[in-house]
A and B are shown apart, each in its own frame.
Chain A
Amino acid sequence: MEGLLLAVGLVVIIAYLWYVSLVKKRNTGREALSGIDVQIKKRSNLVPNILKIAQKFMQHEKTLLTDITELRAQATKSYDTNDVAQIREHLAVAEQLNNKMGQLMINVEAYPELKSDNTMLQAMQTYNEVEAHISAARRFYNAAVTELNNAVEIFPGSIIASMANIKIMPFYEADEASKASIDATDFLK
Chain B
Amino acid sequence: MNIVSFILGAAIKPKRQSQRLVAVRGEIESLRAHYNEYIEPLTRKFENRRVACLKAIRQRIYMSVIIFLVIVLVVYLFDTRQRLDIPWFLYLLPALPLFWWSSRPVKRYKSDVKEQVFPKIFSYFGDDFIFSPTHSMSLPVLKRSKLLPHYDDAKFDDYVQGTYKGVEIAINELQLTKEVRRDKRTDTETVFRGVMVQLSSHKKFNGHTVVVKARGGLINFLSDSFNSLSRVKLEDPRFEQRFDVFSSDQIEARYLLTVSFMERLQELASSFTGKIQCAFYDDKLLIMLASRDNRFELGSIFNGATFEYEFSQINKEMQQLFAMIEVLKLDEYTGL
A contact residues vs B (CB 8 Å cutoff)? 31-32, 35, 39, 42, 46, 122-123, 125-126, 129-130, 132-133, 135-137, 139-140, 143
> Across the interface, do B336 and A140 meet the contact criterion of CB distance under 8 Å?
no
Of A31, A39, A139, chain B has the most CB atoms within 10 Å of the CB of A139
> Across the interface, do A122 and B251 meet the contact criterion of CB distance under 8 Å?
no
> Across the interface, do A133 and B255 meet the contact criterion of CB distance under 8 Å?
yes
For the complex formed, measure the closest distance between the CB of B244 and the CB atoms of chain A, giving whole angstroms.
15
Range class of the B interface residue count: 10 to 19
Q: Which residues of A contact B332 (CB under 8 A)?
A: 125, 129
Q: Which residues of B contact A35 (CB under 8 A)?
A: 250-251
> Across the interface, do A136 and B255 meet the contact criterion of CB distance under 8 Å?
yes
> Across the interface, do A129 and B336 meet the contact criterion of CB distance under 8 Å?
yes
| A–B Cβ pairs within 8 angstroms, 18 of them | A31-B250, A42-B336, A46-B335, A123-B335, A125-B333, A125-B334, A126-B335, A129-B336, A130-B336, A133-B251, A133-B255, A133-B336, A136-B255, A137-B251, A137-B254, A139-B235, A140-B250, A143-B233
Q: Is the interface of A mostly helix, strand, loop or mixed?
A: helix
For the complex formed, measure the closest distance between the CB of A127 and the CB atoms of chain B, giving whole angstroms.
9
Q: Which residues of B contact A32 (CB under 8 A)?
A: 250
> Across the interface, do B334 and A140 meet the contact criterion of CB distance under 8 Å?
no
Whether B47 sits at the interface, judged by CB under 8 Å, is: no
Quick one: which of B251, B333, B334 contacts A136, CB cutoff 8 A? B251
Q: Is the interface of B mostly helix, strand, loop or mixed?
A: loop
> Across the interface, do B334 and A129 meet the contact criterion of CB distance under 8 Å?
yes
Whether B252 sits at the interface, judged by CB under 8 Å, is: yes
> Across the interface, do A126 and B336 meet the contact criterion of CB distance under 8 Å?
yes
Q: Which residue of B lies closest to A32 (CB)?
A: B250
> Across the interface, do A140 and B254 meet the contact criterion of CB distance under 8 Å?
yes
User: Complex Cα distance A143/B332, Å?
Assistant: 28
Q: Which residues of B contact A125 (CB under 8 A)?
A: 332-335
User: Complex Cα distance A35/B247, Å?
Assistant: 15
> Across the interface, do A122 and B250 meet the contact criterion of CB distance under 8 Å?
no
Q: Which residues of A contact B203 (CB under 8 A)?
A: 129
Q: Which residue of B lies closest to A130 (CB)?
A: B336
User: Complex Cα distance A129/B333, Å?
Assistant: 10
> Across the interface, do A140 and B235 meet the contact criterion of CB distance under 8 Å?
no
User: Complex Cα distance A64/B137, Å?
Assistant: 52
> Across the interface, do B336 and A139 meet the contact criterion of CB distance under 8 Å?
no
User: Complex Cα distance A143/B233, Å?
Assistant: 8
Of A31, A125, A140, A143, chain B has the most CB atoms within 10 Å of the CB of A140
Q: Which residues of A contact B233 (CB under 8 A)?
A: 143
Q: Which residues of A contact B336 (CB under 8 A)?
A: 42, 126, 129-130, 133
Q: Which residues of A contact B258 (CB under 8 A)?
A: 132
User: Complex Cα distance A137/B334, Å?
Assistant: 18
> Across the interface, do B252 and A136 meet the contact criterion of CB distance under 8 Å?
yes
User: Complex Cα distance A121/B252, Å?
Assistant: 24
User: Complex Cα distance A39/B251, Å?
Assistant: 10
Listed from nearest, the 9 A-B pairs whose CB atoms lie closest are A136-B255, A136-B254, A126-B335, A129-B334, A139-B254, A35-B251, A137-B251, A126-B334, A140-B250
